[in-house]
Amino acid sequence: MLKSNTLVKICGLTSEEQALQVAKIGANAIGIISVKESPRYISAEIKKKIFNTLEKSYPKIERVSVVKNCPIDLIIKNFLGKPSETIIQLHGDEDIDYCKNLRKKIPTIGIWKAFRIRTENDLDNIKPFEDFVDSILLDSWNKETYGGSGKKIESINLKNLKFTKPWWLAGGISIEWIDEILSDIRPDGLDISSSIEIYPGKKNLEAAKNLIYRIKN
């Protein structure tokens, strides 16, 4: 297989130490969960500390703050001054007006919009958002959670998907699935979390290293 240009985001980190270790092994983006009901949630203060450390040591890595149905004013409040994140990832039921308003309020920060996919019809809902976000993320639908379930999207055919913006695949990204993803599905990026965890928020660094190597080589 040819060397892949697929980007890798490791999501749900909770410590500076692991963030630096994951950056060192080749992640292109690191995600922090700012959703209080998530087992991977960390406070705005800890998030800022992790992102400031990453900015100093690995300034090219995208620093992604994941939110869900969060009031825009609260997103801005949780910057705690100058934003330390480079991306806000919307992982809830945010509509187009929300995305428009967020863009106006934080024009210098990227916006990624996640969509939970259950049927082919869910894909039709994405197109109107493409003018107002910087990337699309597809995740599996799960009635229990909005993300981090470790479940693959299996209800639709993911091959030959086309968007006007870069798109990321999330949900059950495992080393056993990588060859098919890279050869047949070909997303621009992969968002990885629970498949490389010891427990929520604590990554198995050897598993992360092996997965990133498999994706990029």
Residue 202 has pLDDT above 50, yes or no: yes
Residue 98 has pLDDT above 90, yes or no: yes
For residue 124, the model assigns a pLDDT of: 87
| End-to-end CA gap in the chain | 8
Structure token digits, residue 192:
């990885």
Q: What is the mean pLDDT of residues 84-98?
A: 96
What is the rounded distance in angstroms from the CA atom of residue 65 to the CA atom of residue 63? 7
Assign domain 7-204 to a CATH class: alpha beta
pLDDT tens digits, 26-76:
999 999 999 999 999 999 999 999 999 999 999 999 999 999 999 999 999
pLDDT tens digits, 104-138:
999 999 999 999 888 888 888 899 999 999 999 99
Which helix (H) or strand (E) element contains residue 74? helix 72-77
Structure token digits, residue 195:
């498949």
Q: Mean pLDDT, the chain, as a whole number? A: 91
For residue 1, the model assigns a pLDDT of: 43
Q: What is the mean pLDDT of residues 72-84?
A: 96
Contact of 3 with 217, CB cutoff 8 Å: yes
Residue 23 has pLDDT above 60, yes or no: yes
3-state helix, strand, coil in the chain (%, to 5): 30, 20, 45
pLDDT tens digits, 140-176:
766 555 554 556 776 567 887 889 999 999 988 989 9
Structure token digits, residue 93:
């039921």
Give the residue among 177, 196, 197 at the shortest CA–CA distance from 187. 177
Q: Which residues pair with 140 in a beta bridge?
A: 117
Q: Which long-range contacts (CB under 8 A, 24 or more apart) does 76-82 make?
A: 76/105, 76/106, 77/44, 78/34, 78/44, 78/47, 79/44, 79/48, 80/44, 80/45, 80/48
For residue 150, the model assigns a pLDDT of: 59
Which helix (H) or strand (E) element contains residue 217? none
What is the rounded distance in angstroms from the CA atom of residue 215 to the CA atom of residue 85? 25
For residue 117, the model assigns a pLDDT of: 87
Query: Hey, where are the domains in the chain?
Result: 7-204
